[in-house]
Amino acid sequence: MEKSAILHLLEWHQNNGINSVLRDQPRNRLANDFANNLERLENPESPAKMTPQPILSTSASHDHPALACQTLEQLKQVMLAFEGCDLKQSAMNLVFSDGNPKGPVMLVGEAPGADEDRQGLPFVGQSGQLLDKVLKTVGLDRTNTYISNIIPWRPPGNRPPTTQEIAMCQPFIQRHIELVRPKILVFLGGVAAKTLLNSNEGIMRLRGIWRDYVTHDGSAIKALATFHPAYLLRSPGQKALMWQDFLKVEKALQEAEHRL
Ligand code: URA
């Protein structure tokens, strides 16, 4: 292949966010299915042989290692040792959390980006800077909020996490929330909101309405979904809506204080 063609191909990969190498040798994921389909075309009687796919039954979450964790440190150690999610292979760091676990508010985002992966901390890049600004307007910062993500390892090239990756990591964030037990949960963006509210609705419908997040022991935590700050970087016109959502959080915190 000519050098210019190789450079062109590399550029195409880069532009499409394929910028991480996961294995030394390429793997043709279509090979089995292609041979299988060819065989069936030539011999329509032959039964279809499916390429095995990772199957996540609901029972998979019953023996998930997150469930046994009794402290945040235990949870972190279990996640550091976890080998059930391929994202870990391409990520530099586990992004566990930032902020104060004793604070009244816990924020949950989607997945770390490049800056977060490098530093091992959530929301430290451009989205995080915008988030910090919004938090500041309602008297919040990382001394009185706690921040984590649905997915603790950076998806290569910042691609959205797959359904399987979300299902595999969901018990971690669920246990995380149960161990922190904040007064208020804020879900940042559609992935966090849909996953933790168990809904198929989009963020436009889910945001701005108080809901109950129900833990494994059946208790409820007040939860509010809002936009992901990365979306606001692309659509700054929506910032006022996110701010309105955080005003609701501020009001709920004030009401909770008065009740004490
Ligand atoms: N986006 C997220 O959802 N989480 C981060 O930690 C950073 C960016």
pLDDT at 209: 98
Confidence band of 187 (pLDDT split at 50, 70, 90)? very high
Nearest CA to ligand 1 atom 6: 122
Q: What does the pLDDT look like over 10-51, one tens digit per residue?
A: 877 766 656 666 555 566 655 655 555 555 555 555 444 433
Whether pLDDT at 59 is above 60: no
Question: What is the Å distance from ligand 1's center to 120 Cα?
Answer: 11
| Summary mean pLDDT of the chain | 88
pLDDT at 5: 81
Q: What does the pLDDT look like over 101-117, one tens digit per residue?
A: 999 999 999 999 999 99
Question: What is the Å distance from ligand 1's center to 258 Cα?
Answer: 33
CB half-sphere exposure, 252, CA atoms < 13 A: 21
Question: What is the Å distance from ligand 1's center to 204 Cα?
Answer: 19
- Which amino acids bring their CB within 6 angstroms of ligand 1? 109-113, 116, 122-123, 127, 149, 230
Q: What does the pLDDT look like over 113-164, one tens digit per residue?
A: 999 999 999 999 999 999 999 999 999 999 999 999 999 999 999 999 999 9
Q: What does the pLDDT look like over 218-248, one tens digit per residue?
A: 999 999 999 999 999 999 999 999 999 999 9
Question: What is the Å distance from ligand 1's center to 11 Cα?
Answer: 26
pLDDT at 163: 97
Q: How far apart are CA 127 and CA 133, in angstroms?
A: 10
Q: What does the pLDDT look like over 70-98, one tens digit per residue?
A: 999 999 999 999 999 999 999 999 999 99
172 sits in the region (left: phi over 0; alpha: psi -120 to 50; else beta) called alpha
Is 0.75 surpassed by the pTM of this model?
Answer: yes
CB half-sphere exposure, 109, CA atoms < 13 A: 27
Q: Which domains does the chain have, with CATH numbers?
A: 59-259 (3.40.470.10)
